[in-house]
Structure 1
């Protein structure tokens, strides 16, 4: 892709301004705003549909390429005291995760521009190394003993200009009789080996040779715990000092864990900031397993996990900005960027200042953000990529080339990606994007393009609706929902904060009506960073997961709450919407079969126009090709909290063994987890009445909305959805 953009926010209201950043390899590009109506270009559906909008940003802009620099580190602003030209000692604990992956900076104040300063590194051979620069000469001294991965080491280095000598020391925390756990070296160097560097002090990286203020390089993979610098030469550098002696900087990472700040507890207050979202609330070298919550014993969490592929902000220059006119309609929009050869779409959502409809569609922007830049390669099919089979989709290639990761991916060192930031391109958040061939549901649309199936259907049926998003729901609470008679979810509203759940529960108990038109919703505990709301966090454990948080690292650094799935925090989805995640798979979807509850008088309106023995959704779909029940599916379960008065209207069953029950529903290994043997592998449709005239209708399937447009929307999935929505949007129907 030679033209790519992103915005500084996912949703905006009339009167507010949204900014767009663009990288374009051509000399110029054109921009315009279009309203998205249907973004799945499958020829079996309505096709790709947009409507051009006349706006002030339409026009031609100068193009220039903008790179993406991944890799996290800490930065402490330059101060002459940090130059330490009269001698120094550096000490730290490190937990390298990829020590054999080239040069990596541990603590550096070194400039390759003029070869000045000093730095403690892992060298190209995987051993500890001290670099000294005098502008005329570069000295590198290493222990020659390769560091093992995923082992805590105490490391130290000193420079003594009086004796023209350097020392290095490394020692494993855990020692084994048949392994060399310790290495050290003492070596003479020439006089004046260190010259002052004007660059910042970096922890977890070093500065690139291009210029003083450009991107860092030589990123460290792994944890660093309590790095410090002394302005003296400690003779026994392998001994940790118990009292401060000539401290220049002593950084205690157990402080301000929920922020991007690092604190220097020494006399100089050389505090710093973290760049590109390294992982906090991780176990340090002294964690003994007695406490698993950093809030209880922060001293055991005095480490930060740095990665060479972390990214918080692409930091691109502004392309243009747009103040949304006061009368602009709520809806789903994109900035359409175009050169003579290529195009890109940057999608955003316009939310009304105040409600204009009885119906609101809740866009699952939190789910979109966690999935952002996920290339959907499942664990089994990932083997194909290693054999040279790779996606030819331009978006997938761009994601891989620029190390753009989602909350489903692993960092390059194998640790899970627990943060996701808005301030970067979302390449799978594009009209027409389909899941690639290596994915579980290959060639199907998902998320935005799947949710547009529902919005196009609403337009076709002449329903008036507003667009609201997870981001507003989190910040504004139940007040956002209270004016709407009915709230519609998308196909996969998986990620929810506690504030969002509380708001939805208040809406329901206050008489609100909810149509849950998807599968695997209300599942993962998710949090926004209160100081940086463009960041969300997920810590995966005790659920069906793409990765698992390391032992002792299940609490969110941003809010301090325990992660995992809501089921284990007394917020089972069944309590709110009657059904909860039960299975997922690929292959052919299944139709729903009506159950006895569907014949009761109080739900006759739901099946008006649908035969008693009619299979529901037994026809072509735009997700997994056929059937309304499938992909990720939910079941009714009274043990998990489904209210006793909930009515089971229909179920889709008979799935193949490509569908497996969720991990959290398996207590031991057994062969009966597939669709052909396990009764829990099913998709249930339920209806339940609530307080004050409220009600909930749930379908328990991601694929449901992909059937709405079949046969010009003349089908029973469309009929049932329309029946419920028309009744729910009335003032009273009981």
Structure 2
């Protein structure tokens, strides 16, 4: 999400104080009290290869703790188990979310050569006087460099995982590090545990897009936040993390027989040529935050003949990766405070891609961008929409075998359209949408399907109701794109769209389904969404 979460939810005066407490002040992190039973852990890196040494930094108030590591693929398969490991309680700095925990390694192991690539769930359990706690971590395993690469690589959105990780008190949305209680931190650390819900979720945990359409006259609801507070999970679980997004795609792809390697956006930062070893790079879920180096790696790959399949939404912010990959920086709405402003490196200022001094429209990489899209199906934001795409060009190769026609709804039953979507500036001609190019998109790209989105959540004055999004995002968009906030620019900034686009770029090709929730079409076995996904993967991996 964007501005509304950093500024606090928009409310009426009668509910403001209570709503801010309910929505924004749930803390997940170290208790800093030895009387509280807890166990937390993290690894220095996100990604490893067979033969690498892994050090787990674990802190617990229990005398002993148990460990299980398992490959989280089409089925979960335990590969390492330990019991009664000696517990160590480690001091945690107050600003650990910014500078890291700096815990010592408490358990180390070497990854065996026979472990397969994929996501590996780390389960930590501790017990005391009959009480049991369980927390989770995750790392990715890449195949060895001397093995032939897979045709596809799934690049996990670790930039966005970090931005939403609230463990320890702050992230790129809210926190304990600013002068106000809910001020966000422009600096976050990789050296800390993931917040509860990023690595593992119970079956049935609500999505940001609810399973039912908002009923007119009823009070607006946010089921995922209600569930998170009821069960002790981070309210950010539905916005980022392996469990909500990449896991669904990885399980589906493996079950369908596709051969994937795994990487992170941070791997692209460290190894700009990583994608060249594959035919197709895949991005899924919510990939809001990217560094310039990550983005350049994708651009270079596509221009040189690579294929990009992006089933993800909300491409919006430039970040910087510093401190040898341990720190992520994004000043966002206060980008004028970025230290690079006014320097010869100010093109790396951490603002929205379309905003000066960055001036690098997101649509030039993926064919769509966050500022032209935004919210759908979240609260009252198009809360009575279909949560599917309207099909405009059913004859396109991506729709082969789907039985979709002009005007049909794609993915409405599985609710794939939302909660944040990417759009494109377009015009309608003879009932078909065409990219204007005004937002940096190539006018030659094809808009295959589209839905409506908004940057404003309407407030109908229902007594006791909290409107979460409000109008702060529209104001930010107006100031960013038009230089001022006036009734006219604010009105122009309320409307957006989400698109599916196909685009031949350089020697390569890009397919973008600009929505966070595409993975729900796969998890819920929507056969038309599955067929389109297979059509894209089959075409983009055919020459491998």
TM-score above 0.5, yes or no: yes
1:647 aligns with 2:449: no
1: distance between equivalents of 2:124 and 2:235? Answer: 29
- State the number of aligned residues: 430
Contact 2:499 2:514 in 1 (8 A): yes
Within a 5 Å distance, the mapping from 1:610-629 to structure 2 comes to: 610-613=403-406, 614-620=408-414, 627-629=415-417
Query: In the alignment, what sits opposite 1:565?
Result: 352
2: distance between equivalents of 1:549 and 1:584? Answer: 23
Query: In the alignment, what sits opposite 2:327?
Result: 535
Higher helix fraction (1 or 2): 2
1:448 is aligned, of 236, 242, 254, to 242
1:525 aligns with 2:318: yes
1: distance between equivalents of 2:310 and 2:340? Answer: 29
Q: Deviations over 1:68-93 (max 9, x none)?
A: 2215xxxxxxxxxxxxxxxxxxxxxx
Query: In the alignment, what sits opposite 1:63?
Result: 87
Q: Deviations over 1:307-359 (max 9, x none)?
A: xxx64131223221122223321110022112341211111111223353101
Structure 1 residue 650, shift from structure 2 partner: 0.5
1:21 aligns with 2:57: yes
CA 1:504–1:404 in 2, change beyond 3 Å: closer, same or farther? Answer: same
1: distance between equivalents of 2:294 and 2:456? Answer: 35
Gaps of 5+ in 2: 1-36, 206-223, 426-436, 458-468
1:708 is aligned, of 513, 522, 526, to 522
Query: In the alignment, what sits opposite 1:419?
Result: 187
1: distance between equivalents of 2:119 and 2:511? Answer: 24
Structure 1 residue 549, shift from structure 2 partner: 4.5
Q: Deviations over 1:254-307 (max 9, x none)?
A: xxxxxxxxxxxxxxxxxxxxxx7xxxxxxxxxxxxxxxxxxxxxxxxxxxxxxx
Give me the TM-score of the superposition, normalised by structure 2: 0.72
Secondary structure, aligned partner of 2:286: coil
1:691 aligns with 2:502: no
1: distance between equivalents of 2:136 and 2:76? Answer: 11
CA 1:519–1:564 in 2, change beyond 3 Å: closer, same or farther? Answer: same
2: distance between equivalents of 1:648 and 1:533? Answer: 37
2: distance between equivalents of 1:726 and 1:446? Answer: 27
Contact 2:285 2:517 in 1 (8 A): yes
Query: In the alignment, what sits opposite 1:682?
Result: 497
CA 1:701–1:509 in 2, change beyond 3 Å: closer, same or farther? Answer: same
Within a 5 Å distance, the mapping from 1:599-638 to structure 2 comes to: 599=395, 603-613=396-406, 614-620=408-414, 627-637=415-425, 638=437
Within a 5 Å distance, the mapping from 1:577-616 to structure 2 comes to: 577-581=366-370, 582-584=373-375, 586-587=378-379, 588=383, 590-595=387-392, 597-599=393-395, 603-613=396-406, 614-616=408-410
CA 1:570–1:311 in 2, change beyond 3 Å: closer, same or farther? Answer: closer
Query: In the alignment, what sits opposite 1:462?
Result: 257
CA 1:684–1:441 in 2, change beyond 3 Å: closer, same or farther? Answer: farther
Query: In the alignment, what sits opposite 1:483?
Result: 277
Structure 1 residue 20, shift from structure 2 partner: 0.6
2: distance between equivalents of 1:527 and 1:491? Answer: 21
Contact 1:540 1:564 in 2 (8 A): yes
Contact 2:391 2:404 in 1 (8 A): no
Does 1 or 2 have the higher relative contact order (CA < 8 Å, sep 6+)? Answer: 2
CA 1:369–1:715 in 2, change beyond 3 Å: closer, same or farther? Answer: same
Query: In the alignment, what sits opposite 2:10?
Result: none
Secondary structure, aligned partner of 2:496: coil
Structure 1 residue 32, shift from structure 2 partner: 1.9
Contact 1:490 1:516 in 2 (8 A): yes
Q: Deviations over 1:204-245 (max 9, x none)?
A: xxxxxxxxxxxxxxxxxxxxxxxxxxxxxxxxxxxxxxxxxx
Give the structure with higher Rg (CA): 1
Provide the alpha-carbon RMSD of the alignment.
3.0
Give me the TM-score of the superposition, normalised by structure 1: 0.54
2: distance between equivalents of 1:598 and 1:570? Answer: 34
Within a 5 Å distance, the mapping from 1:654-673 to structure 2 comes to: 658=457, 662=474, 663-665=476-478, 667=482, 668-670=485-487
Secondary structure, aligned partner of 2:278: coil
Gaps of 5+ in 1: 39-48, 72-275, 277-309, 374-398, 542-547, 621-626
